[in-house]
């Protein structure tokens, strides 16, 4: 199981952060060439990220947020990053399925031009506005390259004429994105929590999105990694229950029984699926050893 509990933003114009990013235990690094980079620094940032991908060995999954791929900036980003064959391409401010498909078509041309396996480059789409939220289902199903969709809340709440609060203002957007991702069989990643000094508020938000069913959260500070991983790691009680369900499955299979029971109660398919997912998460997060 490839975990995406934490995806940490790394500004593409900060060589020190780019060089040291591999030391942090997040699941993914996202090198940003878009909003965190001033217009005058776009070329330098692109070169820095390209060289990092070519010459540094990171243990995390790698993502690059490009500029709008319909612009010259975005196309130059793709021309620099796709041949490195290391990073997932994250589209900013995705509004329609066509946005994804046009970028995917350009990536395919680059793969063909460089002699790379067609389809190797994966993509993510960030949904950051009301149109994108309403089109979430078609966006999520728009390309086989797409491994996930993510919520970008700051632009979204601005477009909705409100501000970030306790979470009520994001409930509809989160629900749309999460349902779209699940229907398409891809990951759903929640937005950043920008107040890094409010640990209590951050933990409450992570607990909420974990309960909703998101696969993980975009983060902006290494201090946010540990709380997210703690919340997303199955508890000892959850693991014990899942192991008991697994044992009941194995016993039923051994005896050739069509019905699985545990402690005198029938275990139905959803319970089995949740138990197996719990064990997969526990193993991936190293809370349980592999068989």
**157-177 residue pLDDT tens:** 999 999 998 899 999 999 999
Rg (CA), the chain: 20
pTM for the whole thing? 0.92
* Residue pair 189/149 in contact by the 8 Å Cβ criterion: yes
Using CA atoms, how far apart are residues 44 and 219, in angstroms rounded to an integer?
A: 24
**100-127 residue pLDDT tens:** 999 999 999 999 999 999 999 999 999 9
Using CA atoms, how far apart are residues 160 and 156, in angstroms rounded to an integer?
A: 6
**1-26 residue pLDDT tens:** 789 999 999 999 999 999 999 999 99
List of domains in the chain? 6-232 (3.20.20.60), 236-284 (no CATH)
């Amino acid at each position: 199981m490839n975990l995406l509990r934490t995806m940490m933003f790394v500004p593409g114009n900060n060589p020190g952060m780019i060089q040291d990013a591999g030391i942090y235990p997040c699941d993914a690094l996202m090198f940003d060439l878009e909003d965190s980079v001033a217009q005058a620094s776009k070329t330098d940032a692109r070169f820095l990220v390209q060289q990092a991908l070519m010459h540094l060995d990171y243990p995390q999954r790698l993502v690059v947020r490009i500029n709008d791929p319909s612009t010259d900036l975005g196309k130059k980003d793709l021309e620099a990053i796709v041949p490195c064959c290391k990073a997932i391409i994250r589209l900013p401010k995705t509004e329609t399925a066509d946005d994804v498909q046009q970028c995917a078509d350009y990536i395919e041309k680059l793969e063909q031009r460089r002699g790379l396996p067609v389809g190797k480059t994966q993509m993510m789409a960030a949904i950051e506005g009301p149109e994108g939220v309403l089109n979430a289902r078609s966006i999520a199903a728009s390309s086989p390259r797409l491994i996930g969709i993510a919520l970008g809340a700051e632009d979204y709440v601005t477009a909705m004429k409100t501000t970030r609060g306790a979470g009520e203002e994001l409930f509809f957007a989160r629900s749309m994105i999460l349902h779209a991702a699940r229907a398409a069989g891809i990951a759903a990643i929640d937005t950043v929590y920008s107040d890094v000094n409010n640990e209590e508020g951050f933990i409450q938000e992570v607990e909420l999105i974990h309960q909703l069913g998101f696969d993980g959260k975009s983060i902006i500070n290494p201090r946010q990694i540990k709380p997210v991983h703690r919340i997303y790691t199955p508890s000892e009680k959850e693991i014990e229950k899942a192991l008991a369900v697994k044992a009941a499955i194995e016993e039923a299979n051994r005896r050739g029984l069509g019905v699985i029971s545990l402690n005198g109660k029938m275990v139905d398919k959803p319970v089995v699926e949740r138990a197996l997912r719990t064990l997969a998460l526990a193993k991936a997060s190293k809370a349980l050893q592999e068989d």
